Chain A
Amino acid sequence: MSMFRIFDVAGSAVSAQSQRLNVVASNLANADTVAGPDGSAYKARQVVFQTTLLGTTGHREATAGVRVSTISEDNTPGRRVHDPKHPSADADGYVTYSNVNAVEEMVNMMSASRSYQNNIEVMSTARSLLLKTLQIGQN
């Protein structure tokens, strides 16, 4: 029954979106961290989605799930603030903060949460349709 595949497809998307939310949360939590002793500050991370074909029979491309293929790091240089009194300041008196852009992350978070909701909606619709299919000829 091909409709059971919907749960796999939507489930893969829900899991991928929640991983994206996880990365956003980690980015936001580290938005104000400064460079550690090694001199490199936290780098913002982004998930990269990839289509994965879940079907085993029939049209394989019809059951297109999604998975997180890689988590890429943003390599733009972090914010540098002149603050000689800061314990993490370098020789020139500059403190390097992480390169997280809070506004970008908030937009990312909203997009992830909307996509999450969409896929939950897909699952609950598929569930109610399947339950009604089970009741064929019973009334």
Chain B
Amino acid sequence: MIPRLTNALEFQSQALVLRAERQRVIAGNIANADTPGFKARDFDFATALRNATAGSVGNNSAGGPGAGLGTGIARDVMTPGGRSQPALNYAQPQQTQLDNNTVDMDRERGAFVDNAVKFEATLRFINGSVRTLQEAMKSANQS
């Protein structure tokens, strides 16, 4: 019963952690926009999320309602904070620069804003799930 309640939350929290991680990587790129020889880094969010939720309860909740109930909950409990690290890739520069810096400021700003909006969206999904659960508990108590 409990895994069923927290399945959706578990998946969204993985997404939130990865969004925070990506925000940090992009902040590093923006900070090093003027550093000679710096190579811009980034990771593919979809792949990272698929890897992070593979075999855990979060993946099952995405797969459909009721799929694989009660499996994999121990994994996250056993390894707090032991979430998989996304593999960082190197950005391909649109234009090469004389100082070998591959930070494209327009791209980074776009990615930063995009990631911030999606981070907020994930927060709203979590808040929505929490509110749904609270409503469900409330009506049971009132009737």
Decide if A and B are genuine partners: yes
A64 within 8 A of B: yes
A63 to B38, CA, bound (A): 13
Question: Interface residue count for A (Cβ, 8 Å)?
Answer: 37
A63 in complex: contacting residue of B16, B28, B86, B109, CB < 8 Å: B28
A51 to B32, CA, bound (A): 7
B21→A126 contact, CB < 8 A: no
Evaluate whether A2 and B33 lie within 8 angstroms (CB atoms) in the complex, with A61-B41, A65-B28, A129-B116 already known.
Answer: no
A1 within 8 A of B: yes
A137 to B13, CA, bound (A): 13
Find the A residue at minimum CB distance from B83: A58
Evaluate whether A9 and B119 lie within 8 angstroms (CB atoms) in the complex, with A61-B88, A63-B24 already known.
Answer: no
Evaluate whether A118 and B85 lie within 8 angstroms (CB atoms) in the complex, with A2-B20, A61-B41, A62-B24 already known.
Answer: no
A111 within 8 A of B: yes
A13→B21 contact, CB < 8 A: no
Question: Interface residue count for B (Cβ, 8 Å)?
Answer: 35
For chain B, residues 45 to 71, give those with C-beta under 8 angstroms from any C-beta of chain A.
Answer: none
Evaluate whether A51 and B109 lie within 8 angstroms (CB atoms) in the complex, with A6-B27, A136-B126 already known.
Answer: no
A133→B32 contact, CB < 8 A: no
Specify which chain A residues have a CB less than 8 angstroms from the CB of B85 in the assembled complex.
Answer: 58-59
Which DSSP category, helix, strand, loop or mixed, fits chain B's interface? helix
For chain A, residues 11 to 54, give those with C-beta under 8 angstroms from any C-beta of chain B.
Answer: 12-13, 17, 20, 48-51
A63 to B25, CA, bound (A): 6
Specify which chain A residues have a CB less than 8 angstroms from the CB of B112 in the assembled complex.
Answer: 122, 125
A58 to B27, CA, bound (A): 16
Specify which chain B residues have a CB less than 8 angstroms from the CB of A103 in the assembled complex.
Answer: none
Chain A contact residues, CB within 8 Å of chain B: 1-3, 5-6, 9-10, 12-13, 17, 20, 48-51, 58-59, 61-66, 111-112, 115, 118-119, 122, 125-126, 129, 132-133, 136-137, 139
* 17 A-B pairs (CB sep. < 8 Å): A2-B17, A6-B23, A9-B24, A9-B27, A13-B32, A20-B34, A49-B36, A59-B85, A62-B28, A62-B88, A64-B41, A66-B35, A112-B34, A115-B33, A115-B34, A118-B105, A122-B31
Chain B contact residues, CB within 8 Å of chain A: 16-17, 20-21, 23-25, 27-38, 41, 85-86, 88, 105, 109, 112-113, 116, 119-120, 123, 126-127, 130-131
